[in-house]
Structure 1
C-alpha cells in the first residue's frame, strides 16, 4: 500500500492518531501520577532524581514535547472527524489550519530535537541525561515513549498526512519563541534551585554552555526547515495532481 492509498484511507489515519494519542496520553498520566506510587521508587535512595511534582516535570523539554504530541494528536482526531484531510482544500477549517501550524512549528521539530539530542548524549555518556541508577525506578517503556516513540509517530505522520506550512518567517519565529522561552525558563530554575535541569550543563563552563545553547536552538530551527523540505518532497506529486483536478 502506497502513501497515497494510506492517505485516502481515513480509517487508517484515524487509527494511527488514536494509537499515538492513547500512548502519549497514558505516558503523561503515568509520569504524572503512577510513577510516584511505585514501591521501587518510594524505597529507592535515588528517588530525588525522578521529578515528582508538576513544577519539577515542566523543567524538562521531554515533558513539554510529550504535552505537544498529545495536543497535536487530539487536534488531529478532531480534524479527522469534523475537519478535512484533503491535500489542498479551498477553505480549510480552523482546526485544519491549527493542526498544520502545530505540526510544522512545534510537533515535528521539537520531537526530533528531543529524540536526537537525548539518544546522542546517551550514546556519548548516559550519565549526562539518564543515569543508570534510574533504571530500577524509571520504566524503560516510559523512557522510549518520551524519547523514541515521539520520533517514530511524528515521522509516520509525515507520510500519512499532508500539511500546508505557514510562511517560513512566521513558522521559524514561533519555534524560536518557544525555544527561547524554554531556555529562559531553565535559567530561572537554575537561579532559584541552584541546580541545572540537565546534568550535562553542570560539566560545561559558561562559554561552552553558550555554544551548547546556540547549537541546540540552531539545530531545532534547522529541523523546521527539514520538516518543510520533507513534506514538500514526499507530497510533491500528489499536491500537483490535486491542484490540476481543482482547476
Structure 2
C-alpha cells in the first residue's frame, strides 16, 4: 500500500465523517428538540464524533509521515492503534449491529416512520451504514493491536462510562435515553448492564478478528 493511497483514504474517510455529522445537525437538530444532554446522549451521534476524531488522528499521522518526523510518527501510531482497537472499531460495530438489528425487528423502537418526513434514507445510511468505513481502515492501515488487557480495559471503560451517562440523565431529567429501559427494574437492569458490557467485548473481538484477517489475507487494497 503506497503512502499516497493510504493518505487519500484517510482524507476521504475524514470528509465522510464530517459530512455525516453535518447532515445529522441539519436533518435532526433543526427539526427535533433534543432535550437534556442534546445529541450527546445518543450512541449514534457519539460514534460519529469518535469516528471524526479518529480519522483526524489518521490524517495528522499521514502529515507527520510526509514530513518524516519519525519519533512523532511512532508515538502517533501507538495512539492510533489503541484508539482504533479499543474505541473506534468496537463503537462502529456496536452502532451498526444494534441499530440495524432493532430496525429489522421493529423499526418503531429505534427509527419511527415519522422521522422519514425530514430524514432522507441516504442520511440514515450515512449515520448507520457508511460508518463501516472504519472497518475498511483495517485494509488500508497495518494496525498492531495492543495487549488485550489494555484494549478491553479501555473498551470497557468507555462502555460503562456511557451507561453511567444514561443513568445520570435519568437522575437529572427523569427520562431514559432509550424508552425500553422504563420496563427494566432490579435484576433486569443489572442484567442489561452486564449484557451491554459483554456485547461491547463481543464487538471488540469481532474487530480484532477483522483486523487479523486484514493483516494476513492477500485481499489488500492496492
Q: TM-score, normalised by structure 2?
A: 0.86
1:35 Cα deviation from its structure 2 partner: 4.3
Which of 2, 11, 14 matches 1:9? 2
1:184 aligns to 2:164 (yes or no):
yes
| Structure 1 stretch displaced more, 194-203 or 182-191 | 194-203
Partner of 1:3: none
Q: Secondary structure at the match of 2:129?
A: helix
Number of paired residues? 215
Q: TM-score, normalised by structure 1?
A: 0.78
The answer to whether the Cα contact below 8 Å between 1:32 and 1:52 also exists between their aligned partners in 2 is no
Partner of 1:219: 199
1:94 aligns to 2:75 (yes or no):
yes
1:165-190 deviation digits (Å, cap 9, x = unpaired)? 11110110001111111101001111
Which of 101, 111, 127 matches 1:130? 111
Larger Rg: 1
Partner of 2:212: 232
1:66 Cα deviation from its structure 2 partner: 0.5
The answer to whether the Cα contact below 8 Å between 1:176 and 1:217 also exists between their aligned partners in 2 is yes
Partner of 1:60: 42
Structure 1 unaligned runs (5+)? 1-7, 42-46, 239-247
The answer to whether the Cα contact below 8 Å between 1:83 and 1:95 also exists between their aligned partners in 2 is no
The answer to whether the Cα contact below 8 Å between 2:85 and 2:207 also exists between their aligned partners in 1 is yes
The answer to whether the Cα contact below 8 Å between 1:65 and 1:111 also exists between their aligned partners in 2 is yes
Partner of 1:118: 99
